[in-house]
């Protein structure tokens, strides 16, 4: 999940440098969603992992 986030951030940066604002905005939004989804799943796995 974190790998997808990095991929979309790089895509957003490249698109932003080349002047494609709409694509950069979309890729940055997807990267934010992936990152927060990763954080939520990580926290859930930490909580569930402690109940042995």
Reduce the DSSP state of residue 50 to 3 states and report it.
coil
Contact (CB, 8 A) for 5 and 31:
yes
Using CA atoms, how far apart are residues 18 and 45, in angstroms rounded to an integer? 39
Can you tell me the distance from the alpha carbon of 9 to that of 27, in angstroms, rounded to the nearest whole number?
7
Residue showing tokens 């002047």? 19
Which residue in this structure is represented by tokens 């604002």?
A: 21
Q: What is the pLDDT of residue 2?
A: 83
Confidence grade of residue 1 (pLDDT, cut at 50, 70, 90): confident
Q: Are 28 and 9 in contact (CB under 8 A)?
A: yes
pLDDT in tens, 9-48: 999 999 999 999 999 999 999 999 999 999 999 999 999 8
The whole-number pLDDT of residue 23 equals 92
Predicted structure pTM score: 0.77
């Amino acid at each position: 999940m974190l790998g997808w986030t990095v991929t979309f951030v790089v895509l957003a940066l490249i698109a932003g440098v080349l002047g494609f604002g709409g694509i950069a905005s979309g890729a940055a939004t997807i990267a934010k969603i992936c990152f927060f989804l990763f954080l939520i799943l990580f926290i859930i796995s930490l909580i569930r992992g402690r109940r042995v």
